[in-house]
Amino acid sequence: MGVAQMEGRRIRIQGTVQGVGFRPWVYRMAHSAGVTGRVRNDSAGVTIEAFGEQDALARFVDALKNPPAAARILAFDQSAIAAEAAPDFEIVASERTCDHVVSIPPDLATCPECTAEIFDPANRRFRYPFTNCTNCGPRFTIATDIPYDRPATTMAPFEMCPACRREYEDAADRRFHAQPNACPVCGPRLAFHGPDGTRLTPDDPIAAAARAISHGLIVAVKGIGGFHLACDATSEFAVRRLRERKHRDEKPLAVMVRDLAEAETLAVLSDVERALLTSAERPIVLVERSAECSLPSGLAPHNRMLGLFLPYSPLHHLLLADAGRPLVMTSANLSDEPIAFMDDEAIHRLVRIADCFLMHDRRIETRCDDSVVTVIGGEGAVLRRSRGYVPRAIRTPRPIARPVLACGGLLKNTFCLAQGHDAWVGPHIGDLENLETYDSYVQSIARMQRFLALQPEVIAYDMHPDYLSSRYAKRQPQSTKIAVQHHHAHVVSAMTEHGIDEPAIGIAYDGTGFGTDGTLWGGEIMVATPASFRRVATFRPIALVGGDRAIREPWRIALALAVDAFDGNVPGDVLALFDVDDRDRTFVGKLLAGRFPAPLARGVGRYFDGFGALFLRRPRSAFEGQIALEWTQVADPRVSRSYRFTIDTTTACPEIDVRLAFQDAVVDLARGEPVASIAAAFHNTLTEATAAAVRRIVPSVGALPIVASGGCFQNARLAESLCAALAPEHRVWLQRQVPPGDGGISLGQAVIASALCA
Ligand code: ZN
Ligand code: ZN
Ligand code: FE
């Protein structure tokens, strides 16, 4: 071999590359390729300087393109540098350079190796609830600053013992540079507190918590992104007690099961659902209850679906093993308040709900709820994007020239920060309707700005003047503020995650959003770009008598539909279907006839509410979307018939009109047609009407890409049937990474604002 020519290469990698075992992996790749040099974390991601012969460098660069599972590479560039005679390849200490942004990794579920260790009596981490390694453990929720290194996490106060330190420094060890590395000698410890918050000292706090649960008690458990309330999911009594104390009337409660085998006994699972349940993100997965499922129906009243998830921290694994049964694990809060995450605050707020507390001394820096996912059309769709996903960036097709803060909506709020090709959607905040949630929103925005070292120059917000997020936006000092129409934001959110930057046909169906014509929108079909939209179809508006009250009492919407469908002369047998006080019905009927000003709403979600309330004879809704969900679940999948509809082209924007469908449904009911068949025909009608409205405009606008978003597309039946109805000529892109509901609009707002001020 002659004197080989040494070359040098500088490789910069951006994305989720810190805290996911990336540098140790680069180190191993360098060794096996035979290159020398160094790798370090910096505020922009990871920088590698590699030296070696041309072939070795090429092998190394190739290997870097298949990173470890938890890492995400968003940008990769390399340049030639002068060769250096570096003796070895090394990992050098982090360097803080403030000129770029970095992505702190999301929290990762406990890996199989760590799980095996905590159940191995011979291992020094046997039953140690804070076990982690470079492949797993908390990240985002314990980070206090960037770059992501132990001193900038809430692990800083815990000094590693010699054994942990050896692992941390040994490049061949699974814990090499695992920032939260800990063991029973040096790491965080558990504590058990009684009902009034007094600290008790049982020998084994996890066993004590499991015992309490087996006696039907409610235990507040401090987890990764906040506290859970845990109780025996198999006990009707415990579940009812939890509901009463939490003031959570009928919302479904999530259930944690020990492993996939236990999940299979409760639900019918597909391969995609199994993969989601066991993914490193460990979301709650909405799955269909199996016929053999023996859990009390009180977990999710009137609901065929069940929210299941698997343990994602060693503490969960141990608790589930000791309890020996599935556990309700629901966010620890009073209904509508944000999840508790600090010790004193948790005791203070939960003292009337929890019977005891299982806590620990590792601080949670950032509150982060469990994420929720479901399968639509054979693929996962994130319905609530939080722990496990946040703060992973979503790549925008067009660069965001000036940094943007998008403030999101009202319900299921998230915010979004964007710069360059990255959009970071923040953790789930919840419904911005009380002071606690608002405070958490403001703090969360400030913290994410700090983590990303991002100073927004542009503020985007929803056009609705009364949303707390819009008011927050208006108070910000930045001079560039852009109000974004709600459904335009839904559509551009879907376009963005699929990399669509050219005009698209957007279908945005939800409950309510502020429209520009004095009505509430939510049944909108538009031709949109990030900078503009033009509505091409909408739904005929319905009167909401009592405004928001009509949403809680959807029988009011049903009556409005009936009055509209029968031109004011609602037949007596239809009126007899209303399961409400006659005086109430007469009063609302008078308001409808008298043309008193009531808000007019076009939301498809309102049609679900109205039809569902009447035909299911369920006049009231315990929470947003409850009746709509039941109306969908009752629909018979084998029924393919539909009802009549028209598209009225005489209105300013063509209107899908389902008054005839309402009449048809009433006739069906009178004929004794089962409700399951009526619900199915209703769904099929919406799908056909939507497909017809889309086909109607294709000749004039061309075969543009089609996206569908809005809360109605959390509904797998509607989404799947729409995809089928437009296939094979058209493909409909659904939201996958970002919620179709209002948790997804901040992404659209950010991209729209950026396009408008470019
Ligand atoms: Zn691990
Ligand atoms: Zn240790
Ligand atoms: Fe919406």
Q: Which residues pair with 525 in a beta bridge?
A: 507, 537
Q: How confident is the model at residue 333 (pLDDT cuts 50, 70, 90)?
A: confident
Say how many Å lie between the CA of residue 184 and the centre of ligand 2.
Answer: 6
Domains of the chain and CATH, by start: 3-91 (3.30.70.100), 190-360 (3.90.870.40), 375-496+739-757 (3.30.420.360), 537-734 (3.30.420.40)
Stretch 483-490: mean pLDDT, rounded?
A: 98
User: Nearest ligand, CA of residue 161?
Assistant: 2
In this prediction, residues 679-697 reach a mean pLDDT of: 98
Ligand number nearest to the C-alpha of 467: 3
Whether the model clears a pTM of 0.85, i.e. scores above it, the answer is: yes
HEC-encoded secondary structure of 607-653: HHHHHHHHHCCCCCCCCCCHHHHHHHHHCCCCCCCCCCCEEECCCCC
Say if CB 561 and CB 568 are below 8 A apart: no
Q: In angstroms, what is the span from residue 491 Cα to ligand 3's centroid?
A: 10
For ligand 1, the distance from its centroid to the CA atom of residue 174, given in whole angstroms, is 8
Among all bound ligands, the one having the nearest atom to the CA of 493 is 3
Strand partners, 734: 708
Token couple for 613: 């309330």
Q: Which ligand is nearest to the CA of 131?
A: 1
C-beta of residue 696 within 8 angstroms of C-beta of residue 647: yes
C-beta separation of 318 from 129 below 8 A: yes
pLDDT in tens, 223-265: 999 999 999 999 999 999 999 998 877 889 999 999 999 999 9
Tell me, what's the pLDDT at 41?
81
> Which ligand is closest to the CA of 746, given by its number?
3
| SS3 of residue 213 by DSSP | helix
Q: Using an 8 Å Cβ cutoff, are 746 and 416 in contact?
A: yes
Question: Under a CB-based contact definition with an 8 Å cutoff, are residues 484 and 381 in contact?
Answer: no
Tell me how far apart the alpha carbons of residues 621 and 293 are, in angstroms, rounded to a whole number. Answer: 26
CB 353 within 8 A of CB 340: no
Helix (H/G/I), strand (E/B), else coil: 607: helix
| Ligand 2 center–CA 141 separation, angstroms | 21
Neighbours of ion ligand 2 (CB under 5 A): 161, 164, 183, 185-186
Nearest ligand to the C-alpha atom of residue 523? 3
Q: What is the dihedral of CA 235, 316, 391, 492, to 10 degrees?
A: -30
Q: Measured between alpha carbons, how far is 70 from 19 in angstroms, rounded to an integer?
A: 9
**Beta carbons of 740 and 441 less than 8 angstroms apart:** no
CA distance 187 to 203: 18
Relative to the alpha carbon of 712, which ligand is closest? Answer: 3
Cα of 155 vs centre of ligand 1, distance in Å, is 16
Integer angstrom CA distances of residue 146 from 44, 102, 426: 10, 8, 17
On average, the pLDDT of the chain sits at 93
Query: Which-ligand-closest: CA of 136?
Result: 1
pLDDT at 97 (0 to 100): 45
Q: What is the CA radius of gyration of the chain?
A: 27
Q: Give residue for tokens 């090429």.
A: 58
SS3 50: strand
Distance, CA 281 to ligand 1 centroid (Å)?
14
Three-state SS string over 456-471 comes to CCEEEEECCCCCHHHH
Distance (angstroms) between ligand 2 centre and the Cα of 313 equals 18
For 154, other C-beta atoms within 10 Å of its C-beta total 20
Higher pLDDT, residue 95 or 574: 574
pLDDT digits (tens, 9 = 90+) for 507-532: 999 999 999 998 999 999 999 999 99
CA of 182 to the centre of ligand 2 (A): 5
Strands (E), 578-684: 600-601, 646-648, 655-657
- The position carrying tokens 């492949």 is 135
Helix (H, G, I), strand (E, B) or coil at 328: strand
Burial letters for 546-582: b for 16+ Cβ neighbours within 10 Å, e otherwise?
beeebbebbbbbbbbbbbbbeeeebeeebeebbebee
CB 329 within 8 A of CB 317: no
- DSSP-derived letter for residue 106 is P
* pLDDT number for residue 572: 93
Q: What's the gap in Å between 113 CA and the centre of ligand 1?
A: 6
Distance 109 CA to ligand 1 centre (A): 8
Q: Indicate the Cα dihedral angle 745, 227, 375, 694, nearest 10°.
A: -20
Q: Is the per-residue pLDDT at 335 higher than 80?
A: no
Ligand closest to 134 (CA) is 1
Residue 139 near residue 148 (C-beta atoms within 8 A): yes
Cβ–Cβ < 8 Å for 306, 255: yes
Å from CA of 132 to ligand 2 middle? 11
pLDDT of res. 85: 87
Q: How far apart are CA 758 and CA 255, in angstroms?
A: 46
pLDDT one-digit tens code per residue, 690-703: 999 999 999 999 99
Å from CA of 622 to ligand 2 middle:
49
What would the two tokens of residue 157 be? 């106060």
What is the distance in A from the centroid of ligand 3 to the CA of 381?
A: 16
Return d(Cα 635, Cα 619) in angstroms, integer: 18
pLDDT tens profile 358-393:
999 999 999 999 999 999 999 999 999 999 999 989
Beta pairing, strands 600-601 & 504-514: unpaired
Instruction: Give the span between the Cα atoms of 606 and 539, in whole angstroms.
Output: 11
- The pLDDT confidence band at residue 100, using thresholds 50, 70 and 90, is very low
**What does the pLDDT average to over 315-338?**
93
Instruction: State in Å: Cα 386 to ligand 3 middle.
Output: 18
CB 505 within 8 A of CB 525: yes
In this structure, how many other beta carbons lie within 10 angstroms of the beta carbon of residue 149? 18
Region 196-221: mean pLDDT is 95
The two three-digit tokens of residue 758, written as one number: 């470019």
- Ligand at minimal distance from the CA of 186 is 2
Residue 66: predicted pLDDT: 82
- 307-319 pLDDT, tens per residue? 999 999 999 999 9
CA gap 75, 64 in Å, rounded: 12
Could you say which ligand is closest to the alpha carbon of residue 490? 3
pLDDT at 595: 67
Segment 439-469, tens digit of pLDDT: 999 999 999 999 998 999 999 999 999 999 9
Secondary structure element (H or E) that encloses residue 26, with its range = helix 22-33
Measure the CA angle with vertex 143, ends 286 and 139; round to 5°.
40
Cα(754) to ligand 2 centroid in Å equals 48
CA distance 3 to 359: 62
Contact 291, 306 (CB under 8 A): no
Q: Distance from the CA of 148 to the center of ligand 2, in angstroms?
A: 20
Ligand having the closest approach to the CA of 484:
3
Distance 166 CA to ligand 2 centre (A): 9
To the nearest whole percent, how much of the chain has pLDDT over 90? Answer: 82
CA distances from 644 to 33, 565, 665, 669 (A): 67, 12, 10, 16
Over residues 549-602, the pLDDT tens digits come to 999 999 999 999 999 999 999 999 999 999 899 999 999 999 998 867 789 999
